[in-house]
Structure 1
């Protein structure tokens, strides 16, 4: 059972394909926890897709101010995390909220460079959004305080759903057949009556061990 569950989770998370049943626009609001005054999160930018199938995004993000840089440097000094919230909406699916985080020092050292992965089900619903530091190139300069993001839209392949209803119906038919005596028992004699044979065999073995035959008398 554990293997079966792990296999299903692995299929959902790792296996994706380019085919998708649904097409439509997708809007992703990006918020972060830097320089937000009294609010926990405030706007960092927005990602818009006119077509989920094409996966071509329009990414619009703010420039970091000196206050943003000061705050993220302060987080980096205590080995803290830079927190991000995304709000995803599409025509046929309700708005979904996802939280993610990056090591502040790693994000700063990368020159404010990150990778955004959005996982979408075949029906167009967003399953997950995660951010990670982009380590594919050398650190970028912080001279313009610009966020450098790579965006990837991942299409999740749903695992096959067990046909529970048919299985229950099969069990019910087998039960009814047994009640009517229509099912023949083709098991061997031992398979049918082992629960009676085993106790007798154990009893015989125990009796033989506790009552050994007397040794033959030596010849005179």
Structure 2
């Protein structure tokens, strides 16, 4: 058991080091969370997530408990098998604001005691490209305090490796050099006779086959 516990700690440490090395940029990040539950406008505030350092990944989550009115609206959505929609407004030192929408089943969110996981997907440049909310299978009952029903959230910063970009400029330059070399006669064509002149041979062969098929009698006499 001690060895397994040590392995888990080492795995977490390696994952943290890898995540820190994946990011080329460091700075602050702020995510304003809003939801649509009986709001005067389309969305109203639900909370805020702030990070002083993206590389450190340590977040501060501050959320507003649901009121009785909001909980009643959530229950109505659950009865109608509707969706609970959340809007995330992301801002950073280099980005004034990007909006992301995500939805989960209202019944699932309610049945799990208002518990969810918030994932922010980030490129090595520090740009957030997606934010999604997932309901965790906690089977937790509703928690209430003097301000309302508590929302329990966990925040995860995910890093996305960019795919390699093809070096189109170098490839075009290579083709240009090969063309110039052929024009100067520096490149010899070592292809076989068929490889060089197949575009001339194939039409003639097709024409002969078609002629033989349309004139079978002449083809038979010629064979005699």
**Displaced runs of 4 or more, over 4 A:** 202-209, 213-216
Measured after TM superposition, the shift of residue 215 of structure 1 is 9.8
Secondary structure at 1:169 match in 2: helix
Task: State the structure with bigger RCO (CA 8 A, min sep 6), 1 or 2.
Answer: 1
Which residue does 1:212 correspond to in 2?
A: 220
Which residue does 1:141 correspond to in 2?
A: 142
Secondary structure at 2:164 match in 1: coil
Measured after TM superposition, the shift of residue 203 of structure 1 is 4.8
1:36-59 CA distance string (max 9 Å, x none): 12x111110001111111111110
- Map 1:148-167 → 2, pairs under 5 A: 148-167=152-171
Aligned residues: 198
Measured after TM superposition, the shift of residue 134 of structure 1 is 0.9
Which residue does 1:77 correspond to in 2?
A: 79
Which residue does 2:13 correspond to in 1?
A: none
- Map 1:167-178 → 2, pairs under 5 A: 167-178=171-182
- 8 Å Cα contact 2:142/2:150 also seen in 1: no
When structure 1 is superposed on structure 2, of 113-122 and 93-102 the one drifting more is 93-102
Change (3 A) 1:105 1:213: same
Provide TM-score, normalisation by structure 2: 0.80
2:38 is the alignment partner of 1:35:
yes
- Map 1:111-150 → 2, pairs under 5 A: 111-135=113-137, 137-144=138-145, 145-150=149-154
- 8 Å Cα contact 1:112/1:148 also seen in 2: yes
**Two-structure CA RMSD over aligned residues (Å):** 2.1
Provide TM-score, normalisation by structure 1: 0.82
Measured after TM superposition, the shift of residue 109 of structure 1 is 1.0
Instruction: Choose from 56, 63, 80 the match for 1:61.
Output: 63
- Higher share of residues assigned helix: 2
Secondary structure at 1:212 match in 2: helix
Change (3 A) 1:214 1:61: closer
2:24 is the alignment partner of 1:25:
no
Change (3 A) 1:98 1:160: same
Change (3 A) 1:193 1:51: same
- 8 Å Cα contact 1:113/1:140 also seen in 2: no
- 8 Å Cα contact 2:111/2:139 also seen in 1: no
Change (3 A) 1:94 1:183: farther
Following the alignment from structure 1 to structure 2, what is the Cα–Cα distance between the partners of residues 21 and 214? 79
